Amino acid sequence: MNPERIKKVQKLIADNGYDVIICTDMSSISYLIDVAPSHMMERLFALAVPRSGKPKLFVNSLYRIPESENYDVEYHSDDDIPTSGLAGYISGTKVGVDKFMMAKFLLALMDERKDVEFSIGSFIIDEARMIKDKDEIEAMRYASRVNDMVFALIPGMLEEGMTETELADKLAREYVRLGDPDNPPEPLVCFGEGSAEPHHTNSNRKLRSGDVVLVDSGQRTFGYFSDTTRTFFFRSITEEQEKVYRIVREANRLAREAIRPGARFCDIDRAARDYIASQGYGEFFTHRLGHCIGRDDHEEPSVALNNDAVIRPGTCFSVEPGIYLHGRFGVRVEDVILVTEYGYEQLVHASKDIIVVK
Amino acid sequence: MNPERIKKVQKLIADNGYDVIICTDMSSISYLIDVAPSHMMERLFALAVPRSGKPKLFVNSLYRIPESENYDVEYHSDDDIPTSGLAGYISGTKVGVDKFMMAKFLLALMDERKDVEFSIGSFIIDEARMIKDKDEIEAMRYASRVNDMVFALIPGMLEEGMTETELADKLAREYVRLGDPDNPPEPLVCFGEGSAEPHHTNSNRKLRSGDVVLVDSGQRTFGYFSDTTRTFFFRSITEEQEKVYRIVREANRLAREAIRPGARFCDIDRAARDYIASQGYGEFFTHRLGHCIGRDDHEEPSVALNNDAVIRPGTCFSVEPGIYLHGRFGVRVEDVILVTEYGYEQLVHASKDIIVVK
C-alpha cells in the first residue's frame, strides 16, 4: 500500500488542472494501491483518482478486492453496463483517461457524460512512476543482477544446430533457477539474418557457424524488470561485423556519456544517432534509442528525438542503439541505467567485449 | 489470406452504414489478412477496412509486413505521430473503431478528425468471426480433442502435497506433448477453498485430502482455442459437494438442451440460471453462462441474460455454470459447443462423472 504514491499523483493532478484521473493500466493500479487481480481480460477494471480524497476502484464482482482504508471499491456484475458507476462518479469537467483504456469503455463514458472534457491523463501517473523510490531502485538493481548472471551463461550454451527456441527455453530455465522461479520470461533470440529484424520472433532456425547471435531478454523480479541485449558471434566474425559491433558499442557509450544534469531525452538519443550516422550507418538505426523501464518493460516516456523533456534523477531507462542490415545481420547493445544527481548508475554489467564463441 | 472474409466484413460494413472500420485487435487482423507480428506492445497496429476496396494496414516500420494484393501497407516510424496517416486516410463520416483500441490513439484520431462520427464498430468483425467456416470448425474440434486427452489424465496426476502450480506445470507439459509443442497454456488450477473464487490464481497451496480440485484449461492449436472446466474430488466427497456438483452438471445439461433454432443467448443462460436458483443456489452463480470462443479464448458476444440475439449455426461458445461457496468450495462444469442447424455439436467429451480420486 502506498499512500505516499497516491499523494504524489494527486499533487500532479491538481498541478495539471484535472478533476479526476481514470487509470486502467494494471501496473499503474498496482503501483498506487497494490491490487492486481489476474485474468481481467476484456472486463472493466478502473481506478478513479480524484484531485483529493480516496481513490475508488470499479471492478467486476467476480474479483474480490481486499478492503483498505486507502481506497473504496464499487462492484458491478456481468449483467450491468460496466461504465455506468464510473460515469456517475465523475465530478468536475476535466477528466484524464488512461492511454491504454479500451475504446469500448471510453466511448461509453463520453456518451454518458457529454458535459465532461476527456483527454489522456495517464502521463500524470507515468510521471510519478518515472521517478523510482528507494525500494524500486533496489528492485531494479536486483533484476539487472539476475540478468547479468544469465547473460554470462550464454556463450557456454551455444551449440551448432540448436534452434532459437531451444536457446530461449534454456535461458528461461536459468531465470527460473537464478531469479524468480514463478515468472519465466520469453527471451528474444535471433540467429544470423534474424538479428537484422528489430522485432524478430523466435523460430526453429538452427544455429550455424558464422552466425551473429543476438539475445534481448529480461525477467521481472520483485515486480521490476531488467532488459539487456548483447550480440555474440558464433565460431567466426567478419571484418564488417566487427566494425558494426564497435560502432554500436561506441554509440551506446556515447549515449550514456550524454546522461548528465540538464540533458534531455532527445540529447541522449542524438548522441548515439549522430555517431552512427557519422560512421555511415544512420539509415540502419531504425528505432528510438530506448524506453523507460520499471514495473513494465516499456514505460513512458521514450528516449527519442521527439522527446525534449529533461531527464530527472530516479529515472531508469534503456540505452539500446542498433544497426540492422536486412537479410544479413544486425547488432544491438542494450543497457539499463538509473539517472542520478550527477550522471547515471549503470545497472547492467554483462560484458560488452567482442565475444566470438569457438 | 482470406479475401472471402474481407468480403463478408465489407458487406456488413455497408449493411450497418459505416464508411470504414478501424481494426486494432490482433486476432481480427490475422483473421482478415493473415498477418500477426508479435511484440507490438504500445505501438499502433491498425487495419482500416473501407466499405469497398482494399484494406490498408498502418504499422510501425520496425515490422516488415509481407506484400500482398489483398491489402496496402503504410509505415510510420517511432518519430512520427502514429495516427496521422490513419487520420488522413479516413474518408466518409461514419467510422467504427475497435472496442480494444487504445484511448491514446482514439483521442488523437478524434482530435484530428472532428468532422467524423466515431463509434464502436468492431462488432461487425466480431459478427463475422462468430460464424466459423469449415476450416475453423475443424480446428475447433481438434483443439477440444487435445483438451479431452489432457483432462483424462488429471485424476491420475493428483498427489497429496503437490501445489496448484505444480499441477498446472504438469498439465502444460501434456499439452506440449499432445497438442501444440510451441504454445504451452497456463491451466487454472484451484484446490479447496480456491475453487470458490471464479478468478483464482494458481498458488503454492498444497493438495490435501478432502479438497475439491477445479481445473479450467485449454490450448490454442492451429490458431483456435479449447476451453474446458472439470471439478474433481480428492480422497472424499461430502454430501453437500455431491449435491452441488449434481446441480451444476444438470444446469450445464439444461443449458445445452436449450440450444436449438431460434433460441437466444439469454435463453441458454436462463435455462441454467433458473435451475440453479430453483435449487436454492441462485446467488452463488455469479457470472455469465459463457462466452464465444475461436481465435481468442473469449470472443464476442456473451452468453448472458443481457444478450437477446438469436444464436446462429457456426457459432462456438462455452457453457459453464458454476456455484461458488466463498471460503469453502466451488464447482464449475464447462463445455464448448458448436451451434448447428438443428441444435448443437458437443466439442468437449471429457467425463462429467463424479470422480473421487482415492
pLDDT in tens, B291-307: 999 999 999 999 999 99
Average the pLDDT over A257-278 and give the result.
Answer: 97
pLDDT at B265: 98
Nearest beta carbon to residue B42 from set A77, A98, A298: A298
pLDDT at B58: 96
Helices (H), chain A: 3-15, 26-33, 84-89, 103-112, 123-130, 134-157, 164-178, 239-257, 265-278
Mean pLDDT check: name the lowest of A2-11, B43-52, B206-215, B314-323: A2-11
Residue B187 clears pLDDT 90, i.e. is over it: yes
Average the pLDDT over A327-353 and give the result.
Answer: 97
Homologous superfamily (CATH) of B131-357 is Creatinase/methionine aminopeptidase superfamily (3.90.230.10)
Q: Mutation target for B interface from A25, A65, A186, A287: give the one with most B CBs within 10 A.
A: A287
DSSP secondary structure letters along A103-128? HHHHHHHHHH-TTSEEEE-THHHHHH
pLDDT at B249: 98
Q: Mutation target for A interface from B99, B163, B273: give the one with most A CBs within 10 A.
A: B99
Mean pLDDT in chain A?
95
Across the interface, do A103 and B106 touch by the CB < 8 Å criterion? yes
Q: Predicted confidence band at B80 (pLDDT cuts at 50, 70, 90)? A: confident
Across the interface, do B103 and A107 touch by the CB < 8 Å criterion? no
CB of B285 within 8 Å of a chain A CB? The answer is no
Average the pLDDT over A311-337 and give the result.
Answer: 97
> How far apart (Å, rounded) are the C-alpha atoms in residues A63 and B197?
8
Q: Name the minimum distance, in Å, from the CA of B4 to any CA of chain A.
A: 27
Residue B124 CB: number of other CB atoms within 10 A? 23
Residue A1 clears pLDDT 60, i.e. is over it: no
Across the interface, do A107 and B106 touch by the CB < 8 Å criterion? yes
pLDDT at A203: 93
pLDDT at B250: 98
Mean pLDDT in chain B?
95
* Cβ neighbourhood burial of A258 (10 Å; 0-12, 13-18, 19+): buried
Question: Which element (helix H / strand E) includes A21?
Answer: strand A20-23
Across the interface, do A102 and B100 touch by the CB < 8 Å criterion? yes
Across the interface, do B61 and A302 touch by the CB < 8 Å criterion? no
Using CA coordinates, name the residue in chain B closest to A183.
B165
What nine digits make up the cell of A264? Answer: 534531455
Please check whether the domain covering B3-129 is classified as CATH 3.40.350.10: yes
Across the interface, do A118 and B107 touch by the CB < 8 Å criterion? yes
Across the interface, do B286 and A119 touch by the CB < 8 Å criterion? no
Name beta bridge partners: B96: B21, B119
CATH 3.90.230.10 intervals, chain B: 131-357
Place of cell 516500420: B61
Interface size A-B, in CB pairs within 8 Å, comes to 98
Residue B87 clears pLDDT 80, i.e. is over it: yes
pLDDT in tens, B238-266: 999 999 999 999 999 999 999 998 999 99
CB of A62 within 8 Å of a chain B CB? The answer is yes
> How far apart (Å, rounded) are the C-alpha atoms in residues B38 and B41?
8
Chain A, window 257-276: residues with a beta carbon less than 8 angstroms from a chain B beta carbon:
none
On the CB side of A115, CA atoms within 13 Å amount to 6
Q: Predicted confidence band at B3 (pLDDT cuts at 50, 70, 90)? A: confident
pLDDT in tens, A103-146: 999 999 999 999 999 999 999 999 999 999 999 999 999 999 99
What nine digits make up the cell of A179? Answer: 531469479
> How far apart (Å, rounded) are the C-alpha atoms in residues B106 and B83?
9
Nearest beta carbon to residue B107 from set A63, A120, A302: A120
pLDDT in tens, A218-256: 999 999 999 999 999 999 999 999 999 999 999 999 999
CB of B286 within 8 Å of a chain A CB? The answer is yes
User: B23-60: string of b/e by CB count within 10 Å (b at 16+)?
Assistant: bbbbbbbbbbbebebeebeebbbbbbbbbeeebbbbbb
**B74, B70, B41: which is closest to B53 by C-alpha?**
B70
Q: Are A103 and B101 in contact (CB under 8 A)?
A: yes
pLDDT at A198: 86
Q: Are A63 and A37 in contact (CB under 8 A)?
A: yes
Name beta bridge partners: B79: none
Residue A2 clears pLDDT 80, i.e. is over it: no
> How far apart (Å, rounded) are the C-alpha atoms in residues B210 and B188?
19
CATH 3.40.350.10 intervals, chain B: 3-129
Q: Are A356 and A272 in contact (CB under 8 A)?
A: no
Q: Which residues of A touch B199 (CB under 8 A)?
A: 37-39, 62-63
CB of B309 within 8 Å of a chain A CB? The answer is no
Q: Predicted confidence band at A295 (pLDDT cuts at 50, 70, 90)? A: very high
Residue B1 clears pLDDT 60, i.e. is over it: no
